[in-house]
Chains A and B, each alone.
Chain A
Amino acid sequence: MNLQELIKLENHIAELKEMSTNHHLDLTEVLNNLEQKANEIRNHLNENMKVWDKIKLCRIQQRPTTLDYIHHIFEDFIELHGDRLYGDDPALVSGIAIFDGMPITVLGNQKGKNTKDNIYRRFGMSQPEGYRKALRIMQQANKFNRPIVTFINTPGAFPGREAEERGQSVAIASNLREMASFEVPIICIVIGEGGSGGALALGIGNRIFMLENTFYSVISPEGAAALLWKDATQAKRAAEALKITAKDLMKLGVIDEVIKEPVGGAHNDLLLQSQYIKQTLRKALQELGHLDKGIIRQQRYDKFRKIGEYMDEILG
């Protein structure tokens, strides 16, 4: 089975679905069978997709951005700007909106849609102002008892002189601490690159999800190759060694669920991808929304508290 055949099968399923609703036919059993088959093929194809292919896929220019998802998943989005201190960082967008009739605070790293836009958005790499804006908006969500959804898609925090002068480290660290204190549900979704501290600064969630073809890593594969082997061209090798795909992180117990992508990647069907995200979001909000405030905070703490692998060994 190959990709073309899978697409054909998926189209067939869509046609059957439409037919069943239009003509009130009960095709549930047939559809279930076909969907199961499609899933098997998709898994098979995805399993054979190399780590490096996934990295390339989640970095392509056409990859949907945070704002694309915001407009497809939420209603009444109002973008809010500024850290009230120094600036407004276009590499990070934030605001309030409605999801399923529910008030939501939503934010995420924002990459550009083209070269010009990418320069303006600094390729999704935030200055300290971006993280401070995020913190201000999240504190407000906590104040007004609104769940928080974050979209992560950044090569990393911006490396630069001014960023250091204005406290990039303090900005990121403050987010890690403060996000741990909030008493509203926080749901984080890696939609592209999960680049190190710059990603983690939006990543302290009760639920952490990753789209199928994304990665989340302590360092970029290129960076790792340069540091470890003094050779950035070994990035492919580093990417495999680092265990950074959604499936790897699932195995390592760092994330809660892998959200599937349409065939060929999220950019092939933004609407379908948004549907998949909506389903996952809905379920998570239902589960978390019924918990007491204190328990929401404790659950998030426990989640991070238990990450790490180690052993005791008596020397000698």
Chain B
Amino acid sequence: MNIYPLKREKKDLNSFTCKSCGETYDEFLMKKEWNVCPKCQYHYPVTAYDRILMITDSGSFSEFDKCLTSVDPLNFPEYKDKLISDKKNTSLNDGVITGEAFIGGYPVVIGVMDSRFRMGSMGSAVGEKITRSIEESLKTRKPLILFSASGGARMQEGILSLMQMAKTSAALEQLNHEKILFVSVLTNPTMGGVSASFASLGDINIAEPQALIGFAGKRIIEQTIREELPENFQTSEFLLEHGQLDMVVKRSELKQALSIILKIHHLNFRECL
């Protein structure tokens, strides 16, 4: 699946055709809007480091566990090679970047998934980095912000991958117990094991417009129940209507929205009396 707009034909280096509205324009315009189609506002995925640039206060990000990476615990066919090629293509060590930063002047622990790396799937390394960021949030009492973008659990790590759902969710239980804010931002796509674990457990769940969010894939559901599903099935807007999201926020307004949420949670009402 090629969901990145910036992968292009060699002969046509500087133009981009939107798969949503069909319009063709200079790639630069697209890049300037952080991969949002200037015409139809379709939100294409962004890389993890672009997301960090866009959301955090300039120069405030410092990364955790940069070197943590996947192994091949089951000796799964082709997995090693796929890891090597994804590392080469993305310059990432795995599917999530974590660290600490400021947003609108407020300190946070932040994690951002990158769907270019094994479709952002969660194996042991991703699960471990997410869990460590939750633990950092527990230790420092800084609010936690996680951006998910994932096809789900990483099949090549089998049951170990499934257990990352349990591990991350159990860590979030501690965060909940300690009353530390967790904002989950679901971006296109957030599916399967990631949507059925930490990504759905935010005190506040935010999604970008038109993102694909769900548990089982649409085709599998259609084959199982032998019914056609509505066109907006499993989109952010569908989920908002069905009570699963607090808000759908455009990429251009996301930083502002997060800043206000952080501001409100930073205040202590007894100190304001």
Contacts and interface: CB of A to CB of B under 8 A. Distances in A.
A103 B269 contact: yes
A104 B244 CA distance: 23
A286 B273 contact: yes
B242 A88 contact: yes
Contacts of B246: 80-82
Interface stretch (A61-69, A139-147, A173-181, A266-274): A139-147
B247 A76 contact: no
A76 B264 contact: yes
A78 B260 contact: yes
A78 B269 CA distance: 17
A313 interface: no
A295 to B, nearest CB: 13
A84 B243 contact: yes
B144 to A, nearest CB: 14
Contacts of A146: 264, 269
B221 interface: no
B241 interface: yes
A272 to B, nearest CB: 25
Contacts, number: 81
Nearest to A82: B243
Given A82-B245, A82-B246, A147 B269 contact: yes
Given A82-B245, A83-B243, A285 B273 contact: yes
A101 interface: yes
Interface string B250-271: 0000000100110111011110
B167 to A, nearest CB: 22
B240 A82 contact: yes
Interface residues of A, number: 32
A274 to B, nearest CB: 20
B204 interface: yes
Interface in B63-90: none
A5 interface: no
Contacts of B267: 98, 101-103
Contacts of A167: none
B179 A101 contact: no
A291 B200 CA distance: 35
Interface in A280-296: 285-286, 289-290
Interface residues of B, number: 26
A86 B243 contact: yes
A223 B73 CA distance: 69
B272 interface: yes
A140 B241 CA distance: 21
A86 B242 contact: yes
Contacts of A103: 264-265, 267-269, 272
Contacts of A133: 243
Given A76-B263, A80-B247, A145 B268 contact: yes
A186 interface: no
B269 A102 contact: yes
A80 B240 CA distance: 10
B52 interface: no
B269 A81 contact: no
A129 B247 CA distance: 16
Nearest to A129: B243
B33 interface: no
B23 interface: no
A87 B261 contact: no
A146 B269 CA distance: 7
Contacts of A140: 203
Contacts of A104: 269
Contact of A80 (B204, B260, B263, B272): B204
A87 B264 contact: no
A302 interface: no
A81 B245 contact: yes
B112 interface: no
B211 interface: no
Contacts of A98: 263-264, 267
17 contacts: A78-B260, A79-B247, A80-B247, A81-B245, A81-B247, A84-B243, A84-B244, A86-B243, A96-B264, A98-B267, A102-B273, A103-B264, A103-B268, A143-B179, A145-B270, A146-B264, A285-B273
Interface of A: 76, 78-88, 96-98, 100-104, 129, 133, 140, 143-147, 285-286, 289-290
9 interchain residue pairs of minimum CB distance: A82-B243, A102-B272, A80-B246, A103-B267, A289-B273, A87-B243, A83-B243, A102-B269, A103-B264
